[in-house]
Amino acid sequence: MDSLTGPYAAVIGVQSIYAGMFMLSKVAFDLGMNTFVFVFYRQAAATLFLAPLAYFTEWKSAPPLTFKILIKIFVLSLFGITLSLNIYGVALVYTSATLAAAITNSLPVITFLIAALFRMEKVNLKTIPGVVKIAGIVLCAGGAATIAFYKGPFLKLLLHHHLFTHYSPRQHALVHASTHVWVKGVLLLLLGNTFWGLWIVFQGGVMKSYPSKLLLTFGQCFLSCLQSLVLALVMERDPSEWKLGWNVRLVAVAYCGIIVTGLTYYLQSWVIEKKGPVFLATSTPLGFVFTIICSALLLGEVTSLGSILGGVLLVGGLYCVLWGKSREQVLEIHEGSICKAVEVESTVKVFSPSEGSLKNNNVRPSAPCVTIV
Q: What is the pLDDT of residues 96-110, one digit of tens each?
A: 787 888 888 888 888
Write down the pLDDT at residue 155.
Answer: 66
Burial of 349 (0-12, 13-18, 19+ CB in 10 A): exposed
Write down the pLDDT at residue 78.
Answer: 93
Q: Sorting pLDDT into bands at 50, 70 and 90, what band is 42?
A: very high
Q: Is residue 360 predicted with pLDDT exceeding 50?
A: no
Residue 349 in any domain: the answer is no
Write down the pLDDT at residue 282.
Answer: 73
What is the average pLDDT across 235-260? 87
Torsion 294-300-305-306 (CA) sign: negative
Q: Is residue 357 predicted with pLDDT exceeding 50?
A: no
Q: Is residue 157 predicted with pLDDT exceeding 70?
A: no
What is the average pLDDT across 271-290? 76
DSSP label at residue 112: H
Q: Which residues contact 130 (CB under 8 A, 6 or more apart)?
A: 123, 124, 324, 328, 373
Range of the domain at 143: 6-326
CA dist., res. 149 & res. 315, Å (int): 18
User: Into how many domains does the chain fold?
Assistant: 1
Please, which residues bridge with residue 357 across strands?
A: 352
Residue 339 in any domain: the answer is no
CA dist., res. 145 & res. 310, Å (int): 8
Q: Sorting pLDDT into bands at 50, 70 and 90, what band is 121?
A: confident
DSSP label at residue 300: -
Q: Do the Cβ atoms of 80 and 203 come closer than 8 Å?
A: yes
Write down the pLDDT at residue 293.
Answer: 79
Distances in Å between the Cα of 299 and the Cα atoms of 96, 255, 260, 309 are 11, 18, 20, 21
Write down the pLDDT at residue 363.
Answer: 44
Most confident of 45-49, 114-118, 123-127, 328-332: 45-49
Question: Which of these ranges, 41-50, 85-94, 291-300, has the smallest mean pLDDT?
Answer: 291-300
Write down the pLDDT at residue 280.
Answer: 75
Write down the pLDDT at residue 364.
Answer: 44
Write down the pLDDT at residue 177.
Answer: 52
Residue 28 in any domain: the answer is yes
Q: Is residue 83 predicted with pLDDT exceeding 90?
A: yes
Residue 368 in any domain: the answer is no
Residue 358 in any domain: the answer is no
What is the average pLDDT across 344-359? 48
Write down the pLDDT at residue 7.
Answer: 81
Write down the pLDDT at residue 224.
Answer: 93
Q: Where are the alpha helices (DSSP H) in 105-178?
A: 107-117, 128-149, 167-175
Q: Is residue 40 predicted with pLDDT exceeding 90?
A: yes
Q: Is residue 371 predicted with pLDDT exceeding 50?
A: no
DSSP label at residue 365: P
Q: Is residue 182 predicted with pLDDT exceeding 60?
A: yes
Residue 366 in any domain: the answer is no
Question: Which of these ranges, 61-70, 94-103, 255-264, 278-287, has the smallest mean pLDDT?
Answer: 278-287
Write down the pLDDT at residue 231.
Answer: 94
User: Mean pLDDT across the chain, nearest whole number?
Assistant: 78
Q: Do the Cβ atoms of 99 and 177 come closer than 8 Å?
A: no
CA dist., res. 298 & res. 90, Å (int): 22
Q: Is residue 11 predicted with pLDDT exceeding 80?
A: yes
What is the average pLDDT across 337-353? 54
Q: Sorting pLDDT into bands at 50, 70 and 90, what band is 346?
A: low
Q: Which residues contact 341 (CB under 8 A, 6 or more apart)?
A: none
Distances in Å between the Cα of 313 and the Cα atoms of 22, 96, 143, 153, 189 are 21, 18, 5, 18, 16
Residue 184 in any domain: the answer is yes
**CA count, 13 A, side-chain hemisphere, 217:** 23
Q: Is residue 325 predicted with pLDDT exceeding 90?
A: no
What is the average pLDDT across 45-58? 89
DSSP label at residue 106: T
Q: Residue 72's CB: how many other CB atoms inside 10 A?
A: 17
Q: Sorting pLDDT into bands at 50, 70 and 90, what band is 195?
A: very high
Question: Which of these ranges, 79-88, 183-192, 262-271, has the smallest mean pLDDT?
Answer: 262-271
Q: Do the Cβ atoms of 217 and 265 come closer than 8 Å?
A: yes
Residue 338 in any domain: the answer is no
